[in-house]
Structure 1
Amino acid sequence: MAEIVGPRLYCCYRCRNHVSFHDDIISKTFQGRNGRAFLFSHAMNVTIGPKEDRNLLTGLHTVADISCADCNEVLGWKYERAYEASQKYKEGKFILEKAKIVKDDNW
């Protein structure tokens, strides 16, 4: 069996566009709109939509939906601002819904 060379990637489930690295996962215990989600420090090949205030499970946040840059599928959101001090660590981070991403075929 060949050893994996290069980083482990997550892809858009629809078009297989690379959207994040496995090593950028901060937490796997988040909740998305449609179930479990992962919190990532970075995302790539995504477009960021307009900012809006949303009342989430952990309080009021300013977020922007993120979509795959290739197929426009909404994959999650970016935390732009957290209003509660305990939630500030999320600012600038990305939620990718588990159902909307897949592991790259190489791992």
Structure 2
Amino acid sequence: MAEVVGPRVYSCCKCRNHVCLHDDIISKAFQGRNGRAFLFSHAMNIVVGPKEDRQLITGLHTVADIYCRDCHEVLGWKYERAYEETQKYKEGKFIFEKSKIVKENW
């Protein structure tokens, strides 16, 4: 009998709320506050905090921290604006810190 396999998802490390899909990963070569981070095109079940300008490794960006909708754990941030032309591809994308998410359905 064939096993039904759902999408590979990542969940919040604290409450296991589904927050992003493996298929939405753009890059695994990012740096978060606490180590490795992944850039995603989409996110779900999150709350976006207030926007602020932040000096990151790749320059000045306007970002907003993202929180788990259920337990309010900070999971990463959303890029709202990139000031350098070479960084514009990040606008509207999400950083999830690897230490803040866990794999589900793998």
Structure 2, gaps ≥5 residues long: none
CA distance in 2, matches of 1:64, 1:91: 11
Query: 1:5 is matched by which residue type in structure 2?
Result: V
Judged with a 3 Å threshold, the aligned counterparts in structure 2 of structure 1 residues 15 and 82 are, in CA distance, closer, same or farther, namely same
Aligned to 1:72: 72
Query: 1:63 is matched by which residue type in structure 2?
Result: V
Alignment partner of 1:34 is 2:43: no
RMSD value, Cα? 1.2
TM-score of the aligned structures, taking structure 1 as reference length: 0.96
Q: Secondary structure at the match of 1:99?
A: helix
TM-score of the aligned structures, taking structure 2 as reference length: 0.96
Alignment partner of 1:54 is 2:54: yes
Per-residue CA deviations over 1:22-65 (Å, capped at 9, x if unaligned) read: 00000000000110000000000000000000000000000000
Judged with a 3 Å threshold, the aligned counterparts in structure 2 of structure 1 residues 6 and 37 are, in CA distance, closer, same or farther, namely same
Structure 1, gaps ≥5 residues long: none
Aligned to 1:10: 10
Aligned to 1:88: 88
Quick one: percent identity of the two aligned structures?
80
